Structure 1
Amino acid sequence: MNIFSKKILSNSLWMMVEKCVSIFGLIFVTSYVAKYLGPTNFGKIAFTATLFGFVQTLTWFGNQEILFKRVSRNPNSGLRYLFGTQNLRKILFLTCTVPILLGLYYYSDFLTLIFGIATALAAYFVTQDIYTIYNNAVLHSYINAIVNVIGLGVALIVRYLIVFLELDYVFLGIPIVLTALIPYLIKKYIFNRNQQLNSISLKTYRKYYLGAGSALVLSALAVTLYTQVTSLMLVALTSTRELGIYAVAVTLGMSWAFINTSIITSVLSRIYQEKNKYQSYMMVAKLNTVIILVSLGVVFILVVVGQWLVNIFYGNAYLEAYKLIVILGVATLCSGLGTISARFLIKEEGYSYISKKMMCVALSALPISYLMIYNFGLIGAAYSVLLIELLSLTLFNYFYKNGLLFKIHFFPFFKNSLKSQSLG
């Protein structure tokens, strides 16, 4: 079975174009900003981004994939659900944001607070941007691609001018907000021009949002925790300087994950619609193969040109980032495969298993990150990410339904077993 129809392939390519432009633009200007700020102040931006990563997770309350699946299956029902829970997301966002900003006000310096406020505003528009989910689910990602590039272009120009004119560091909060605000406004305008559905707020949708999400929000928080725990540990055990260097390594070593995400998101809309279990197993196995091949190609490129990229874009102050890049590249390969497994479990409605699994991953991530960073510093941070992603992909997945994901990972050896299992 070919998992790539023309529409799916086109949608994947549009998503890749959007992210490719975003990442390359981000690398060029971020490197300029990183040189301007230095590792310590650049680490402050990374720190606030880490904090509001948790806020976004809590605001979505585990519902992003539920929303995506619902729109994929029934766009009209999905739209009502998206709009019916909009006000709830606003309440959740404010509830989470206010304590963080108060904490930054009392316990951090002025620059960190400014970056925190700017990141909070950007996070707000991201959590209210239901149009991205809708466009991806109905395979209209070209809209997201075009408007996101416009927003990024404006934000990058503003950021470049701030650095070029050597304005105060606090002005760098403006492009952080613009990156999310401009695409949100344009997508909202396009959607409202083509759709007649008005904003609604129904108790049934709010109850379902919290009820269905409650099984996934802990796992979503666990994902955020184990992916961000390294940043938090670096600040706690070292300083924002090390976090700044680590943030550069993550940008170069993991930012290409958009390639995997674009392919996975587009193919998933078809996998979610597949009713035959064995066919869905086969499609997931093929998708795994595609992600492995794509990822290995990128990792090879990082091995060859990684040091050159650090030297050209970031300079001597960030040279330590080079030794982390390839390790984080392999971790991104594992993360891509892990994303496929997680989305497959959502199709299977294995919400309870996801929640338990991700709590185990998060709990294991804390000691792993602490011990690796405490003993090995920056290089330990990179290896901790790789180890956590590998455990999440393999050990913690293989207890589901007598090793179903293990069998799918090694599909050629378990074809007959999976066919029998799909009939059971």
Structure 2
Amino acid sequence: MLTWKRYTNPDVTRAFANIVWLGLERLTQIAVAIAISGLLARYFGPDVFGKWQYANTLLLVLAPLTWVCGAEILVPTIVRRPAAELGTVLGSAFALRLSVSVAALLVTWAAIAANRTVHFTDPLVGTMLAGLAVTMLFREPVVGVINAWLQSMTYSKPQLLTSMTTAVLKAVLVWLLVRAAAPAGSFGWLWALEAAAIGAVLVVYYMKRHGGTLGWHVERPLVRHFASAGTVFWIGLICMYLFLKLDRLMLERAISFADLGRYSAAQQLNENWITLALMLAQTIAPAFVYRVDDATRLRRNMWRLAALTFAVMAGGALVLDLLAGFIIRHVFGPAYEGAIGIFRWAVWLSIPAGIEAIGNLVVLKYQAKFVLLSKWLLALAVAFGVNLFAIPRAGAYGALIGLAAGYLAAASVNLYYIRLKLGS
């Protein structure tokens, strides 16, 4: 029998509030990202905007290198260890992540310096990346560690509220720099400033909760444990992000930066749509997948979730396809007319992306790390092979074919694992 007491359970109330704040933060980030992209696209023009998007692509390929000792390792460790050891756990994770992040930043800056003589890519891309890369010093070492502590309490509000506030402030600063006609290479430092501000606020919040001191300590055996535990998941995530950005990495060598800017404009809108839609999967996963142990019931839930995801993604893609011209012209301006056709095709990628994300829930439920790694290695290899053939013949549309093939390969691995784990 359902009672009011059941709904006033503090754990349920805390989890629900956390989900609400997560949803608000995601919606805010998506709205701000679209607004900033539209503003910069009009200010830079397609050529420079293409270089800006390529610099961001390089950052998103480099950033997973700093994700050593992910939340799937750190959060359970915080929960299992006594409260008195919290400072040791967080301090050890911070030391590991900071050392990796510093190394990644130094290698990035060294590559940017080498680019001035070797010319791997346009020098402006390196100038933009120099500022963007500094975010690696704050995102995982500081923000990621404190956020893991907040997640262990099912209380992410401080981090999410800070993230929303700084995102809005960053949008205002971008607008001010545009009004001041600032050079394109200076904008990346705003992203570094945002990451530093979030980190500073969270450090202050943590210290207030712990008597005004940080109290972090490094325990070498724990650092070694964090470095080895979760390595397979870490490599799998690196492969996943490389797959997601492979289209832009390979297109940079095949088309002009102006065309890359138009392609990236279409893809950024599409990726925001996919992110918004996949919040549904993240929200319902605990109740319908993670907490279900009966194989028959779980298999039935997976089919229903897949059908729901297909309906949501297909319906959304149809609407976005019909409104593609209106959306591109109003967000990016008339100079991005060439992005309309790309966007109309790209939105349909949300269907295989959504189906793959639903199937991935079972992989995560059973912590099948080698399945995760194999899946994204296969997707990366398939997309690379298809891109080699399709991009020279179809340009940007060839990259969309490569993404579709990669998503289908990943979804096929999920399906095989589900059939193996749950039966047919």
TM-score, with length taken from structure 1: 0.84
Which of 264, 267, 279 is 1:250 aligned to?
A: 267
Query: Relative to 1, partners in 2 of residues 1:365 and 1:178: Cα closer, same or farther, differing over 3 Å?
Result: same
Structure 2 distance, partners of 1:176, 1:292, is 35
* Residue identity matched to 2:417: Y
The farther-off stretch of 196-205 and 206-215 is 196-205
SS of the equivalent of 1:255 reads helix
Which of 168, 171, 186 is 1:156 aligned to?
A: 171
Q: State the Cα distance separating 1:399 from its structure 2 match.
A: 3.3
* Residue identity matched to 1:45: W
* 8 Å contact from structure 1 (residues 150, 183) kept in 2: no
Q: State the Cα distance separating 1:114 from its structure 2 match.
A: 2.4
Which of 225, 228, 251 is 2:242 aligned to?
A: 225
* 8 Å contact from structure 1 (residues 372, 380) kept in 2: yes
Query: Relative to 1, partners in 2 of residues 1:67 and 1:79: Cα closer, same or farther, differing over 3 Å?
Result: farther
* Residue identity matched to 2:132: T
1:24 aligns to 2:31 (yes or no): yes
1:23-422 alignment to 2 at 5 Å?
23-61=30-68, 63-67=70-74, 81-107=89-115, 108-128=121-141, 129-130=143-144, 131-136=146-151, 138-195=153-210, 198-268=215-285, 274=291, 276-278=293-295, 284=302, 287-393=305-411, 395-400=412-417, 402-404=419-421, 417=423
The farther-off stretch of 100-109 and 135-144 is 135-144
Q: Deviations over 1:295-335 (max 9, x none)?
A: 33432331232210111121222112122224332323433
Query: Relative to 1, partners in 2 of residues 1:340 and 1:133: Cα closer, same or farther, differing over 3 Å?
Result: farther
The farther-off stretch of 54-63 and 154-163 is 54-63
* 8 Å contact from structure 1 (residues 15, 262) kept in 2: no
Structure 2 distance, partners of 1:381, 1:78, is 46
Partner of 1:411: none
Query: Relative to 1, partners in 2 of residues 1:201 and 1:343: Cα closer, same or farther, differing over 3 Å?
Result: farther
Q: State the Cα distance separating 1:33 from its structure 2 match.
A: 1.1
Structure 2 distance, partners of 1:137, 1:263, is 22
Q: State the Cα distance separating 1:219 from its structure 2 match.
A: 1.5
Give the length in aligned residue pairs. Answer: 404
The farther-off stretch of 86-95 and 253-262 is 253-262
Query: Relative to 1, partners in 2 of residues 1:8 and 1:250: Cα closer, same or farther, differing over 3 Å?
Result: farther
Structure 1 distance, partners of 2:336, 2:76, is 41
Consecutive unaligned residues of structure 1, counting only runs of 5 or more, are: 408-416, 419-424
Query: Relative to 1, partners in 2 of residues 1:327 and 1:186: Cα closer, same or farther, differing over 3 Å?
Result: farther
SS of the equivalent of 1:397 reads helix
Q: State the Cα distance separating 1:366 from its structure 2 match.
A: 0.9
Q: State the Cα distance separating 1:367 from its structure 2 match.
A: 1.0
Structure 1 distance, partners of 2:347, 2:80, is 34
* Residue identity matched to 1:101: W
* Residue identity matched to 1:23: I
* 8 Å contact from structure 1 (residues 45, 112) kept in 2: yes
Query: Relative to 1, partners in 2 of residues 1:49 and 1:140: Cα closer, same or farther, differing over 3 Å?
Result: same
* Residue identity matched to 1:149: M
* 8 Å contact from structure 1 (residues 13, 262) kept in 2: no
Query: Relative to 1, partners in 2 of residues 1:372 and 1:93: Cα closer, same or farther, differing over 3 Å?
Result: same
Identity %: 17
SS of the equivalent of 1:399 reads helix
Query: Relative to 1, partners in 2 of residues 1:99 and 1:264: Cα closer, same or farther, differing over 3 Å?
Result: same
TM-score, with length taken from structure 2: 0.84
Q: Deviations over 1:41-80 (max 9, x none)?
A: 1122222222222322111137343345656788968886
Query: Relative to 1, partners in 2 of residues 1:399 and 1:125: Cα closer, same or farther, differing over 3 Å?
Result: same
Query: Relative to 1, partners in 2 of residues 1:198 and 1:295: Cα closer, same or farther, differing over 3 Å?
Result: farther
The farther-off stretch of 26-35 and 8-17 is 8-17
Q: Deviations over 1:367-398 (max 9, x none)?
A: 112222221111222232222112211x2223
Q: Deviations over 1:152-185 (max 9, x none)?
A: 1111111101111212223322322233222222
Q: Deviations over 1:161-219 (max 9, x none)?
A: 11112122233223222332222222332233224673232233322223222222332
* Residue identity matched to 1:85: A
* Residue identity matched to 2:30: I
RMSD of aligned residue pairs (Cα, Å): 3.1
Structure 2 distance, partners of 1:331, 1:73, is 40
* Residue identity matched to 1:170: G
Query: Relative to 1, partners in 2 of residues 1:398 and 1:291: Cα closer, same or farther, differing over 3 Å?
Result: closer
Q: State the Cα distance separating 1:82 from its structure 2 match.
A: 4.6
Structure 2 distance, partners of 1:139, 1:333, is 31
Consecutive unaligned residues of structure 2, counting only runs of 5 or more, are: 116-120
* 8 Å contact from structure 2 (residues 87, 216) kept in 1: no
* 8 Å contact from structure 1 (residues 73, 273) kept in 2: no
SS of the equivalent of 1:256 reads helix
